[in-house]
């Protein structure tokens, strides 16, 4: 069932874009810049291939991982054991019930009209992964944006390096110039878009929760999109009195 999420035009478009950027960067720009047979060319090709593989893996994890659904048996704890009276009153006044699912919603859970269910810690429904970004795949989404941003900037640097070392004193090859300009503009736009998205989610992480809550306590596992063993049930979150 999860594999059916790949049967989507936006998802296919992402795969197609990844393939085109990979092919163009390796077999046109790196080859034209320093040559794939050279030591520097081979090194750049290996680095870019590794980064592209990380993007592909993270993207697949985002598509396949269920973001988390609110259990039908969920009932909020309004007693507030060992919680200050003021906070207990706030919790009681903020009980939320989904009109469509007819169940209570934990903090940060929202109903997705596309998925037709309440998603734990829902961030948004992403058209490009044909899935919601929620509690269980938010880390994979964040890592995907990080890898994609770095890879796009790397490709842009290769294009710029190729342009500066190339001898443009030739005539009758206007289509090649147009191709270079188009590729450069595309990578600038892609790098800028992904960089902005990355900056926005870094802002959300630093202001809405701790980095540890999303990425995990071990820095060695921060860049692995499947390292989510530190996550709990997605229905309870630490508050200031917990510390």
pLDDT on residue 243? 40
The CA distances from residue 228 to 40, 64, 205, in Å, are 36, 14, 16
| Alpha-carbon torsion angle 107, 112, 118, 123, nearest 10 | -40
The residues, ordered by sequence, that sit 6+ positions from 6 with a Cβ below 8 Å of its Cβ are 12, 63, 130
- Which residue matches tokens 């994979």? 140
Segment 33-43 mean pLDDT: 92
| Whether 96 contacts 104, CB under 8 Å | yes
H or E element at residue 52: helix 39-64
| Whether 107 contacts 237, CB under 8 Å | yes
d(CA 235, CA 217): 19
pLDDT in tens, 123-179: 888 999 999 998 889 899 999 999 999 999 999 999 999 888 877 665 556 788 888
DSSP 8-state class, residue 175: H
Active site positions, annotated = 126
Q: What is the pTM of this model?
A: 0.80
The CA distances from residue 125 to 14, 108, 122, 139, in Å, are 16, 14, 8, 15
The mean pLDDT of the chain is 81
pLDDT in tens, 85-135: 544 444 444 567 788 877 788 877 888 888 888 888 888 889 999 999 988
H or E element at residue 83: none
Burial of residue 120 (CB within 10 Å: 0-12, 13-18, 19+) is: buried
Beta strand residue intervals within 17-156, DSSP E: 96-98, 103-105, 110-112, 117-119, 124-126, 131-133
d(CA 126, CA 146): 16
């Amino acid at each position: 069932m999860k594999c059916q999420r790949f049967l989507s035009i936006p998802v296919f478009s992402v795969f197609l874009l990844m393939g085109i950027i990979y092919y163009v960067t390796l077999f046109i720009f790196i080859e034209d810049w320093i040559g794939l047979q050279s030591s520097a060319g081979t090194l750049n090709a290996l680095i870019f291939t590794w980064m592209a593989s990380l993007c592909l893996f993270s993207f697949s994890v985002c598509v396949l991982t269920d973001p988390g659904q609110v259990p039908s048996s969920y009932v909020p704890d309004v007693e507030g054991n060992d919680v200050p009276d003021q906070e207990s009153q706030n919790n009681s006044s903020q009980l939320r019930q989904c009109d469509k699912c007819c169940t209570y919603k934990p903090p940060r859970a929202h109903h997705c009209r596309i998925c037709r269910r309440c998603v734990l810690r829902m961030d948004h429904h992403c058209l490009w992964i044909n899935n919601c970004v929620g509690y269980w795949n938010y880390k994979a989404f964040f890592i995907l944006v990080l890898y994609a941003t770095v890879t796009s900037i790397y490709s842009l640097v290769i294009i710029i390096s190729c342009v500066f070392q190339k001898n443009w004193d030739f005539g009758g090859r206007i289509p090649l110039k147009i191709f270079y300009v188009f590729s450069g503009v595309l990578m600038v736009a892609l790098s800028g878009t992904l960089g902005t998205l990355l900056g926005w989610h870094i802002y959300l992480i630093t202001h809405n929760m701790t980095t540890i809550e999303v990425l995990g306590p071990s820095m060695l596992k921060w860049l692995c999109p499947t390292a989510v063993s530190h996550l709990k049930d997605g229905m309870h979150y630490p508050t200031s009195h917990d510390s």
